[in-house]
């Protein structure tokens, strides 16, 4: 299902400012231009998959809680049970990607008391391409950490995407951010790979 989310606001528009005098009174009018922001929302549920996805197209001001409520209301309208979504925490997906050398570019493992973070600064190639950083990452016992997040790079030849795609995974928040426009098939493939990583013990 696809629909539009909108948000409006006002931007200062100085070219339309003007002043006016009436008798002894002087008035100043400061102009504002109305702005409408639009974001495409997609709800995707392939019945053969044990998960669904809510995709919000590039608008930082769209409130995710409002989107979830709208999706839930739309599903209830067409006869689906009106029950809250269960978010799928992706900590394990990040841990598996990091320990198996699966395109991890940067990663952070967290506890309430502290964190460990490693990253590659190479434009091409991730942690696996920087031997000292890779060795440090291999010594980290990721099972000791409650939360994980990281930047993964999916490659066309290895991961089945149409091109190289960077994906930021926020494990404990159960969300991800795809840093490129990509095809629907690419999104489906990325979700499948992350689901497989997340299901790996």
- Distance CA(181)–CA(171), nearest Å, equals 22
Q: What is the pLDDT of residues 79-121, one digit of tens each?
A: 988 888 888 999 999 999 998 866 899 999 999 999 999 999 9
- The answer, yes or no, to whether residue 143 has pLDDT greater than 70, is yes
Domains of the chain, by residue range, sit at 2-77, 91-198
Rama region for 133: left / alpha / beta (φ>0; ψ in -120 to 50; rest): alpha
Which residue shows structure tokens 């930021």?
168
4 bridge partner residues:
40
Mean pLDDT of the chain: 88
Q: Which two tokens stand for residue 74?
A: 């739309």
Which residue shows structure tokens 């952070």?
108
So what's the pLDDT on residue 132?
Answer: 94
- Distance CA(189)–CA(125), nearest Å, equals 20
Q: Residues 172, 173, 177, 183: what is their CA dihedral angle, to the nearest 10 degrees?
A: 90
Residue 68: band (very low, low, confident or very high) from pLDDT cuts 50, 70, 90: confident
Q: What is the pLDDT of residues 44-66, one digit of tens each?
A: 888 888 888 888 876 666 777 88
Q: What is the pLDDT of residues 116-137, one digit of tens each?
A: 999 999 877 789 889 999 999 9
Q: Starting at the edge strand that comes first in sequence, how are the strands of the sheet with 114-119 ordered?
A: 114-119, 104-111, 147-154, 165-170, 175-178
- Distance CA(133)–CA(120), nearest Å, equals 7
Residue 179: band (very low, low, confident or very high) from pLDDT cuts 50, 70, 90: confident
Residue 158: band (very low, low, confident or very high) from pLDDT cuts 50, 70, 90: confident
- Distance CA(56)–CA(174), nearest Å, equals 14
């Amino acid at each position: 299902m696809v629909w539009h989310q909108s948000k409006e606001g006002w931007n200062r528009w100085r070219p339309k400012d003007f002043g006016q005098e009436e008798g002894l009174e002087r008035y100043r009018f400061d102009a504002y231009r109305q702005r409408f922001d639009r974001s495409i929302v997609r709800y995707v549920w392939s019945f053969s998959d044990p998960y669904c996805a809510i995709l919000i197209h590039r608008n930082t001001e769209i409130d995710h809680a409002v989107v979830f409520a709208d999706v839930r209301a739309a599903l209830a309208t067409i006869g689906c049970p009106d029950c809250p979504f269960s978010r799928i925490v992706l900590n394990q997906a990040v841990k598996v990607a990091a320990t198996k050398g699966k395109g991890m570019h940067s990663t952070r493992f967290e506890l309430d008391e502290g964190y460990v973070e490693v990253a590659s600064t190479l434009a091409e190639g991730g942690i696996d391409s920087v031997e000292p950083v890779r060795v440090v990452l291999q010594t980290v016992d990721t099972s000791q950490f409650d939360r994980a997040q990281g930047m993964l790079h999916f490659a066309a030849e290895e991961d089945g995407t149409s091109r190289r795609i960077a994906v930021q995974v926020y494990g404990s928040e159960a969300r991800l951010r795809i840093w490129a426009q990509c095809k629907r098939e690419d999104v489906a493939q990325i979700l499948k790979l992350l689901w497989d990583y997340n299901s790996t013990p």
